[in-house]
Amino acid sequence: MKHLSWASIAILTLLPLPLAGQGEVILAKDAKKFVNQRATVEGVVVNVRTQGTETWVSLDKAYPGTPLLIVLSADVASAYGDVRSLARKKVRVTGTIRPSALEGPSPMTGREAMPEVGGGRPRAPSILLEDSSKLVVVN
């Protein structure tokens, strides 16, 4: 058995680690670890809700306990026909993970988003989907 030299170990420790979004797929439950990074996230759509011009897609757990919320504009949502058809499907979404879509005004409209639901503000990370090609059904 060969041993690594100290020089080899030093070189290996200097190699960059892959970041989310560089080909790695992360699970929705781990999205909060990648806030403010571009990533591809995989999860099962458990809830789809449209209010006004926005659609919220919850992965793995229903709103408000979802580990990742995908926010779609009406234009993006229309690319899927009936966006509710995504329910119970495994999807991958690529985008920048934000700390929360529902803290403060909606990023799409500037109005407060879903204030009547649950009486509080969820702290779920979110991806604001601006391109329908960045959300694909895996199965």
For the chain, which residues make up each domain, given as ranges?
42-137
Confidence of residue 103 (pLDDT cuts 50, 70, 90): low
What's the pLDDT score for residue 75? 92
| Surface-to-core class of residue 73, CB atoms within 10 Å of its CB (0-12 exposed, 13-18 middle, 19+ buried) | middle
- pLDDT tens readout for residues 10-24: 444 444 444 454 578
Chain mean pLDDT for the chain: 78
Instruction: Determine the pLDDT at residue 124.
Output: 84
Given 3-state DSSP classes, what are the helix, strand and coil percentages for the chain, each rounded to the nearest 5? 20, 35, 45
Element (H, E) at 11: helix 6-14
CATH C-level class of 42-137: mainly beta
pTM score, whole prediction: 0.72
Task: Give the pLDDT mean for 72-81.
Answer: 92
Residues 6+ apart with CB under 8 A from 73: 53, 54, 108, 129, 130
Amino acid 9: pLDDT = 44
